[in-house]
């Protein structure tokens, strides 16, 4: 079995489960995790010097690839200038102005250090602005690990939630409602029963945390419409899709008008940056202007701000989104062709530079109860077969893969060959 069991054993003695974020432990795919020493372009290099073509890409932030030279230069310059002031500086100003200049719905943005914090803060504003307690979220969407978001659909009453983690109070559970994706009738039931108590609905406009589950634009419009009629806010969680599917993210792609939008991943270029943004009248409720408190010792850290701006500026300058769209489409087509020749072979779901490998399904999968029951066991075989051939996929069956600017045609061609062979191996029980 591949991986680095000796390192993992040492790590497990000093860190819960040996990891600082659960998926890294390979529980979903089995075996010991690989320990990586370096990233370079489209590749990760492990502690033994073995290189892998990477499609995990730090779970999405690295749209330009590992150690992109321009981002590296920006981060070096930031370190040379001192890396934390806890005071006003021009770097977050430049990033905020860049975002506001490109995204009309970003009237204000506040930077934090993770997507979780961005979501948590946006929910707080929604509750303050509406004077209501409840938040509606959707089954299969992930919004970070704030208590209110660690819930899944409960049995019984439509909308009632059950905890997906220990340590969540009954009170918190009662404030979070959960509905299935892609279900207009369920949405109507939740709003009919609870509409006047809902502060906001939060949704990943391109759900990418339980496989890739592209939604019908009409369903998203229906959600926005029910929110408006109920006086609830619409929060788009673009932590993955923001600056990944295109410069203007899913808001731009859908022509939507959410009240608040949360960002993370690509805006920090691989450094710990999150942000929440939206209408001035809502955002100006945040301290020090308003009475919604939110703060952070390392918020808008100059290294993250300068690396983030370098990432976005370069992405826009080289036109990364059409390039990734084209290359990833060619890659996905090659994979689909190869997979089709494998009896019971997988399918590729793609949106821009996001890819998901899944068991065949008769129709587009838009909600989690339509997922194949053997997705996880099949993916574990596929993952290890790919790893043995020098391709590193996200180590969990419901995580999506990403391409980057560093994934050139030759790299993708090599990866396609390896993944088609891996699919063949994984198909044989
Ligand atoms: C859509 C979405 N929202 C929020 C988060 C939480 O972000 P972070 O892991 O930076 O806290 C994630 C993380 O994967 C995410 O995918």
Residue found under tokens 């703060």: 295
Question: What pLDDT is attached to residue 362?
Answer: 86
Residue 264: its pLDDT value, please? 98
Ligand 1 centre and the CA of 328: distance in Å?
23
Question: Which residue numbers are catalytic?
Answer: 142, 237, 265
Instruction: Using only the alpha carbons of the chain, give its radius of gyration.
Output: 21
Burial class (CB in 10 A: 0-12, 13-18, 19+), 234: buried
268 C-beta closer than 6 A to ligand 1:
no
CB 189 within 8 A of CB 116: no
Q: How far apart are CA 235 and CA 344, in angstroms?
A: 39
- Whether ligand 1 lies within 6 angstroms of the CB of 46 is answered as no
Residue 265 alpha carbon, nearest atom of ligand 1: 10
Q: Say how many Å lie between the CA of residue 203 and the centre of ligand 1.
A: 12
- The pTM score is 0.97
Task: Give the distance (Å) from ligand 1 centre to CA of residue 167.
Answer: 20
Domain 69-317 in the same topology as domain 5-67+319-427 = no
- From CA 157, how far away is CA 129, in angstroms rounded? 27
Ligand 1 centre from 265 Cα, in Å? 8
**CA-proximal residue: ligand 1, atom 3 (nearest):** 143
Nearest CA to 346 out of 426, 276, 256 is that of: 426
Report which of 58, 17, 28, 20 is spatially closest to residue 398, judged by C-alpha positions.
Answer: 28
Q: Whose CA is nearest to atom 8 of ligand 1?
A: 115
Q: Is 237 in the pocket of ligand 1 (CB under 6 A)?
A: yes
Ligand 1 and 119: CB distance under 6 A? yes
Give the strand order in the sheet containing 274-278: 108-112, 274-278, 260-263, 233-237, 198-203, 134-138, 176-179
CATH class of this structure's domain 5-67+319-427: alpha beta
Tally the C-alpha atoms within 13 A of residue 386's C-alpha that lie toward its C-beta. Answer: 25
Minimum-distance ligand 1 atom for the alpha carbon of 59: 14
240 lines ligand 1 (CB under 6 A): yes
CATH class in words for 69-317: alpha beta
Q: Is the CB of 116 under 6 A from ligand 1?
A: yes
Q: Is 394 in the pocket of ligand 1 (CB under 6 A)?
A: no
Across the chain, which has 429 residues, the per-10-residue mean pLDDT values are 91 98 96 98 98 98 98 98 98 98 98 98 98 97 95 71 90 94 96 98 98 97 98 98 98 98 98 98 98 98 98 98 98 98 96 97 91 94 98 97 98 98 91
Smallest CA-to-CA distance from 354 within 386, 304, 398 is with 398
Domain boundaries, the chain: 5-67+319-427, 69-317
Q: Residue 279 and residue 258: Cα distance in Å, rounded?
A: 9
User: Are β-strands 176-179 and 134-138 bridged in parallel, bridged antiparallel, or unpaired?
Assistant: parallel
């Amino acid at each position: 079995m591949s991986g680095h069991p000796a390192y993992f054993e040492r790590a497990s003695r000093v860190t819960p489960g040996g990891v600082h974020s659960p998926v890294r432990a390979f529980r979903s795919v089995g075996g010991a995790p690989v320990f990586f020493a370096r990233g370079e372009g489209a590749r990760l290099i492990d502690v033994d010097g073995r290189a892998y073509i990477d499609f995990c890409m730090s779970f999405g932030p690295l749209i330009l690839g590992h150690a992109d030279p321009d981002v590296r230069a920006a981060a070096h310059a930031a370190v040379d200038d001192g890396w934390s002031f806890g005071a006003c500086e021009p770097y977050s100003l430049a990033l905020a102005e860049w975002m506001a200049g490109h995204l009309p719905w970003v009237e204000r943005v506040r930077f934090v250090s993770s997507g979780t914090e961005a979501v948590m803060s946006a929910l707080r504003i929604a509750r303050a602005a509406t004077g209501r307690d409840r938040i509606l979220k959707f089954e299969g969407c992930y919004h970070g690990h704030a208590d209110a978001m660690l819930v899944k659909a409960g049995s019984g009453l439509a909308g009632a939630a059950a905890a997906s983690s220990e340590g969540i109070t009954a009170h918190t559970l009662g404030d979070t409602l959960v509905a299935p994706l892609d279900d207009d009738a369920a949405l109507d039931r939740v709003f009919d029963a609870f509409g006047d108590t809902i502060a906001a609905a939060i949704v990943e406009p391109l759900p990418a945390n339980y496989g890739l589950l592209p939604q019908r634009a009409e369903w998203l419009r229906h959600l926005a419409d029910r929110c408006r009629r109920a006086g609830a806010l619409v929060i788009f969680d673009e932590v993955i899709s923001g600056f990944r599917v295109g410069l203007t993210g899913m808001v731009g792609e859908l022509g939507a008008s959410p009240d608040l939008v949360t960002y993370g991943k690509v805006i920090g270029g691989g450094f710990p940056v999150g942000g929440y943004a939206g209408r001035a009248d809502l955002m100006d409720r945040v301290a020090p202007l308003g009475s919604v408190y939110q703060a952070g010792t390392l918020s808008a850290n100059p290294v993250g701000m300068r690396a983030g701006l370098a990432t976005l500026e370069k992405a826009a300058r080289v036109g990364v989104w059409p390039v990734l769209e084209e290359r990833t489409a060619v890659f996905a087509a090659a994979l689909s062709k190869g997979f089709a020749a494998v009896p019971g072979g997988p399918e590729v779901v793609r949106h821009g530079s996001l890819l998901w490998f899944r068991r065949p399904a008769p129709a587009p999968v838009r909600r989690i109860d339509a997922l194949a029951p053997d997705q996880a066991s099949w993916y574990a075989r596929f993952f290890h077969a790919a790893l043995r051939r020098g391709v590193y996929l996200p180590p969990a069956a419901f995580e999506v893969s990403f391409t980057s600017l560093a994934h050139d045609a030759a790299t993708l061609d090599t990866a396609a060959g390896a993944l088609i062979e891996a699919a063949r191996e994984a198909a044989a029980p």
